[in-house]
């Protein structure tokens, strides 16, 4: 398993040079806390914790997995200690309000910390990660009493949280939720039903686990309009803030999964468990979706996390492993063969990983600034601003989540491929990265769900293509602004063409959808991938422009090669990966008929 090394040079390049986080933080009401020294301390501290505590537990956690016995879950050896250190470091409260014991820093720092943690050990990171959905929900919709009861413990990390949505018969289609909530005389509810796939649903890391549960009141309307939200703690909190009586929610089993084995995925049986309504009756799904974008961007991070880790594993191997000679002549003449990094096709795989990891990181770090602004609007109570940024983020979210997790899979697979047959052997750890990465396109909405959200809801329904027009206008403005930049000149033409094509494709599908409703679905994933490749191109262009400006200004005297590498990888991206847009473009415009006309019973004649 590659030992994780935090890519601080790249993180700082994005924060300081590309996106000017320092200026950005000054625009936030809580930005003054995020001074350069604090940021540095956080980056270095997180890097240290991730490299030295979390990374060594990544492979051992996979080997050992979680164990379930008598309703209890034992996390792998060392996880409890690592979690305790996480709590002691105050990492959970980084971006949560000071009034609850947090540090009140902007949300983006939390995301950057999560990226490091997730790359070092994704399975571990899911335990504190799931608490965030719970905390966000309580902060936004909880009563003062609920906030005071739960937030301090959650922010400290001594309690953790979950989101209980999925049931055996439904995941995406939450209108089918059956879990029942019976009102009691004392204002509480008795919750009964079975929830599955509950990450961090049961474990031994915290004193208490606070479940946010989707359930239905007896008289609730059918479908999504009859769903309410409940807080169901594993242990009922006592008046003095301790843990009291055990609630009747029990872990029935944990899943045996392909990967992220150190993360416990629980089946939870609610058997008349005491629950507390949070938010309005029958408005539970709406509340749940308030932080959907933030949660999904958290999952998008997994794409770059596994691309990065797989790259960190493949790069040294490619430099060490000797095999054959480069076609253009010996590169290591004194050795028995050339290191495989001298073979163009191996470089193609490494550069693809690098382009995905670093380009995807840029996309995420840009979105993180929007998340900051959104959170800030909440803090200052500006609902209009909140919705403005939520809309903006809402356009990015399905692209980031859907596209980056698909590319993360590809990158993880390349990392194995660089190792040849050794990539298939567990001890190298490269295959674990692919297994861990594989969940990312499935949970928090599959790629298909993201794709439909993008084209159906965000592009066509809510904006009739305006979001794409606005976004491409921004790209074109960027191209115009840097028209004289000698590196951008090549890229600008490609970007301009692609912006036009993106709009054309949008209009074509919008028009076709009038008569061919299914085209929205049949085109969706190709549309998502097309959008992702164009967006990623824009972020590579941005990085290349900054790098070239730094080189020209002589700013990068100490590390000019860093900037040169950025430009070369941007080149690679434009020449080698961006052409994939054309296959997607050609495929998506075809009518849905070819997909829809085969009757289900004729998909096979043999079984």
The least distance separating its own copies from the CB of residue 247, rounded to whole angstroms, comes to 25
Nearer to its own copies, 147 or 458 (CB): 458
Site for its own copies in 88-117 (CB under 8 A): none
162 contributes a contact to its own copies by CB under 8 A = no
Compute CA distances 210 → 86, 139, 163, 243, whole Å.
19, 14, 9, 11
Nearer to its own copies, 236 or 326 (CB): 326
Alpha helices in 519-589 (DSSP H): 519-522, 524-553, 560-572, 580-588
For residue 81, indicate whether it is catalytic: no
408 contributes a contact to its own copies by CB under 8 A = no
Site for its own copies in 232-271 (CB under 8 A): 255-259
Set 69, 98, 444, 561: catalytic member: 444
Site for its own copies in 18-77 (CB under 8 A): none
**Distant-in-sequence contacts of 170-174, Cβ < 8 A, 24+ apart:** 171/197, 172/445, 172/446, 172/449, 174/214, 174/224, 174/227, 174/285
| Span interacting with its own copies, options 96-104, 297-305, 381-389, 589-597, rule CB under 8 A | 589-597
Q: Whose CA is closest to 436, among 316, 314, 350, 307?
A: 307
Measured CA to CA, the distance from residue 386 to residue 396 in angstroms comes to 15
What residues are paired with 191 via a beta bridge? 181, 273
Give 245's DSSP letter.
E
Apex CA 210: angle with CA 81 and CA 184, to 5°? 155
| Span interacting with its own copies, options 94-102, 374-382, 536-544, 583-591, rule CB under 8 A | 583-591
The least distance separating its own copies from the CB of residue 206, rounded to whole angstroms, comes to 24
Site for its own copies in 303-322 (CB under 8 A): 311-312, 315, 319, 322
Classify burial at 37, counting beta carbons within 10 Å of its beta carbon; exposed 0-12, middle 13-18, buried 19 or more.
Answer: exposed
Q: Which of 435, 457, 490, 508 binds its own copies (CB under 8 A)?
A: 435
Measured CA to CA, the distance from residue 179 to residue 213 in angstroms comes to 9
Q: Which of 382, 388, 555, 571 binds its own copies (CB under 8 A)?
A: 571
518 contributes a contact to its own copies by CB under 8 A = yes
Nearer to its own copies, 26 or 580 (CB): 580
Task: Provide the 3-class DSSP secondary structure of residue 575.
Answer: helix
Q: Which of 82, 268, 498, 577 binds its own copies (CB under 8 A)?
A: 577
Measured CA to CA, the distance from residue 189 to residue 277 in angstroms comes to 7
458 contributes a contact to its own copies by CB under 8 A = no
508 contributes a contact to its own copies by CB under 8 A = no
Nearer to its own copies, 57 or 416 (CB): 416
Q: Which of 27, 176, 462, 504 binds its own copies (CB under 8 A)?
A: 176
The position carrying tokens 């050795």 is 335
Compose the 367-406 pattern: x for residues touching its own copies by CB under 8 A, - for all others: ----------------------------------------
The least distance separating its own copies from the CB of residue 530, rounded to whole angstroms, comes to 11
The least distance separating its own copies from the CB of residue 243, rounded to whole angstroms, comes to 30
Compute CA distances 116 → 95, 511, 605, whole Å.
16, 43, 50
519 contributes a contact to its own copies by CB under 8 A = yes
Q: Which of 16, 184, 462, 582 binds its own copies (CB under 8 A)?
A: 582
Task: Provide the 3-class DSSP secondary structure of residue 46.
Answer: helix
The least distance separating its own copies from the CB of residue 248, rounded to whole angstroms, comes to 26
Buried b / exposed e over 370-395, threshold 16 CB at 10 Å, is: bbbbbbbbbeeeeeeebeebbbbbbb
Intra-chain end-to-end CA distance of the chain, in Å: 41
496 contributes a contact to its own copies by CB under 8 A = no
For the CA atoms of 63, 65, 70, 72, the dihedral, rounded to the nearest 10 degrees, stands at 140
| Span interacting with its own copies, options 136-144, 229-237, 281-289, 512-520, rule CB under 8 A | 512-520
The least distance separating its own copies from the CB of residue 91, rounded to whole angstroms, comes to 21
564 contributes a contact to its own copies by CB under 8 A = yes
Q: Which of 66, 301, 437, 439 binds its own copies (CB under 8 A)?
A: 439
The least distance separating its own copies from the CB of residue 453, rounded to whole angstroms, comes to 12
Q: Whose CA is closest to 141, among 249, 297, 276?
A: 276
Nearer to its own copies, 170 or 243 (CB): 170
Q: With contacts defined by CB under 8 A, how many residues of the chain interact with its own copies? A: 114
| Span interacting with its own copies, options 31-39, 132-140, 166-174, 502-510, rule CB under 8 A | 166-174
The least distance separating its own copies from the CB of residue 152, rounded to whole angstroms, comes to 32
Site for its own copies in 412-431 (CB under 8 A): 413, 416-417, 420-421, 423-427, 431
517 contributes a contact to its own copies by CB under 8 A = yes
Measured CA to CA, the distance from residue 14 to residue 365 in angstroms comes to 7
Measured CA to CA, the distance from residue 18 to residue 1 in angstroms comes to 31
Measured CA to CA, the distance from residue 204 to residue 207 in angstroms comes to 8
What residues are paired with 243 via a beta bridge? 237
Q: Please state the φ and ψ torsions of residue 605, each to the nearest 5 degrees.
A: -115, 10
The least distance separating its own copies from the CB of residue 545, rounded to whole angstroms, comes to 18
Buried b / exposed e over 225-236, threshold 16 CB at 10 Å, is: ebbbbbbbbbbb
Measured CA to CA, the distance from residue 236 to residue 214 in angstroms comes to 18
129 contributes a contact to its own copies by CB under 8 A = no
Structure tokens at 318: 């490619």
Site for its own copies in 328-357 (CB under 8 A): 328-329, 336-337, 339, 341-348, 350-351, 354
Return the active site residues: 444
């Amino acid at each position: 398993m590659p030992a994780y090394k935090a890519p601080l040079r790249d993180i700082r390049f994005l924060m300081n040079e590309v996106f000017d986080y320092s200026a950005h933080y000054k625009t936030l009401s809580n930005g003054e806390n995020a001074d350069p020294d604090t940021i540095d301390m956080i980056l270095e501290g997180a890097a240290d914790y991730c490299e030295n505590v979390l990374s060594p537990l990544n492979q051992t956690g996979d080997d050992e997995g979680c164990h379930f016995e008598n309703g209890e879950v034992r996390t792998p050896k060392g996880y409890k200690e690592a979690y305790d250190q996480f709590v002691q470091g105050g990492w959970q409260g980084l971006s949560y309000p000071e009034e609850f014991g947090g540090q009140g820093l902007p949300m983006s720092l939390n995301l950057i910390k999560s990226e490091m943690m997730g790359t070092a050990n994704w399975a571990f990171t899911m335990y504190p990660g799931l608490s965030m959905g719970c905390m966000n929900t309580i902060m936004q919709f909880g009563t003062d009493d609920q906030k005071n009861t739960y937030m301090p413990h959650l922010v400290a990390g001594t309690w953790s949280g979950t989101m209980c949505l999925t049931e055996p018969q439904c995941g995406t289609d939450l209108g089918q939720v059956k879990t029942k909530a019976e009102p009691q005389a004392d204002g509480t509810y008795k919750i009964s039903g079975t929830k599955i796939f509950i990450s961090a649903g049961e474990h031994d890391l915290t004193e208490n686990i606070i479940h946010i549960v989707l359930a239905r009141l007896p008289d609730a309307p059918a479908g999504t309009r009859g769903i309410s939200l409940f807080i169901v703690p594993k242990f009922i909190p006592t008046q003095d803030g301790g843990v009291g009586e055990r609630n009747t929610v029990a872990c029935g089993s944990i899943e045996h999964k392909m990967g992220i084995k150190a993360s416990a995925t629980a089946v939870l049986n609610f058997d008349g468990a005491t629950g507390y309504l949070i938010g309005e009756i029958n408005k539970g799904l709406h509340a749940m979706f308030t932080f959907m974008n933030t949660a999904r961007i958290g999952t998008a991070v997994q794409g770059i996390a596994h691309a990065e880790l797989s790259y960190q594993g493949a790069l040294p191997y490619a430099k060490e492993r000797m095999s054959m000679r480069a076609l253009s002549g010996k590169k290591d003449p004194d050795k028995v063969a050339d290191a495989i990094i001298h073979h163009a096709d191996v470089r193609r795989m490494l550069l693809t990983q690098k382009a995905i990891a670093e380009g995807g990181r840029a996309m995420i770090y840009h979105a993180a600034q929007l998340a900051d602004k959104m959170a800030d609007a909440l803090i200052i109570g500006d609902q209009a601003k909140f919705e403005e940024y939520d809309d903006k983020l809402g356009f990015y979210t399905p692209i980031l989540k859907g596209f980056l997790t698909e590319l993360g899979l590809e990158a993880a697979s390349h990392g194995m491929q660089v190792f040849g047959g050794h990539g298939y052997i567990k001890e190298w750890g490269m295959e674990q990265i692919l297994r861990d990465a594989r969940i990312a396109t499935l949970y928090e909405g599959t790629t298909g769900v993201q794709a439909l959200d993008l084209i159906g809801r965000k592009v066509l329904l809510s904006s009739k293509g305006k979001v794409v027009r606005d976004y491409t206008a921004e790209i074109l403005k960027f191209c115009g602004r840097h028209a004289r930049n000698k590196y951008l000149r090549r890229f600008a033409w490609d970007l301009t063409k692609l912006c036009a094509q993106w709009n054309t494709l949008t209009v074509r599908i919008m028009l076709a959808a009038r008569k061919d409703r299914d085209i929205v679905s049949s085109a969706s994933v190709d549309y998502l991938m097309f959008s992702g490749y164009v967006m990623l191109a824009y972020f590579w262009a941005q990085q290349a422009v900054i790098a070239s400006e730094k080189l020209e200004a002589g700013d990068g005297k100490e590390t000019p090669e860093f900037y040169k590498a950025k430009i070369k990888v941007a080149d690679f991206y434009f020449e080698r990966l961006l052409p994939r847009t054309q296959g997607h473009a050609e495929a998506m415009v075809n009518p849905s008929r070819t997909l829809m006309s085969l009757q289900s019973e004729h998909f096979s004649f043999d079984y």
